[in-house]
Amino acid sequence: MKKTLIALFIMVYFTNVLGTDNELYNKKMDSLLVVLGEKIEINLSCDGYKLPKRTFRDVTIVGWNFVLEVSFIPKSSYILLYDNVSETMMRKFLNQNKSIKLRKHAYFSAFRNYIQEFEKLPFEIVDYISYKFITPYDDSPSDYVIYGEYKFKVIDENEEFEISEKKIEILKGKDEILNKYHSEF
């Protein structure tokens, strides 16, 4: 009986995931990249750094390499978007959909479905959203880049975000850049 229930749950889950039109979800992820990117740019400009503009899926973003991840309240996280990452990170992203971690899938499915239905983030289940990136900055030497890791709290149902944590490093030289890239991306 237990195996039948688990098989039924998995079948319903994958039918739900594969049968969903993700247009609203994709638009929300693009707007999330823009909003968080603007907050990062403002924060870095206060520290004296100006970032070059870059596009991803026709959206202006921060970072030549980036990973956007959501962390849910019961200590489960899900990689939402990435660009220019290592094969290790790509495998991690792809494997999160293949593994049978029911709690992780249930939270992500609820997250995505809530966005599809209400066109806003389900701030009640989101602990924070993490945005990691590597990017050159204006007036930097050619082998210097910024590594940034920002954590954003969703503070209300109007999708106001505040920076809860930030980590900024200036990576100097090819070796330092590649070490950070392979360890974080």
Q: What is the pTM of this model?
A: 0.82
Residue at token pair 């039918």: 15
**Residue-level pLDDT, tens digit, the chain, 185 residues:** 444 334 334 444 444 544 456 888 999 999 999 999 999 999 999 999 998 888 888 888 888 889 999 999 878 889 999 998 888 888 888 878 666 677 788 888 899 999 999 988 898 899 999 999 999 988 888 889 999 999 999 887 778 899 999 999 999 988 998 888 888 88
Question: Rounded to an integer, what is the distance from CA 52 to the centroid of its chain?
Answer: 20
Please report the DSSP string for 39-72 in residue order.
Answer: HHHHHHHHTT--PPPEEETTEEES-SEEEEEEEE
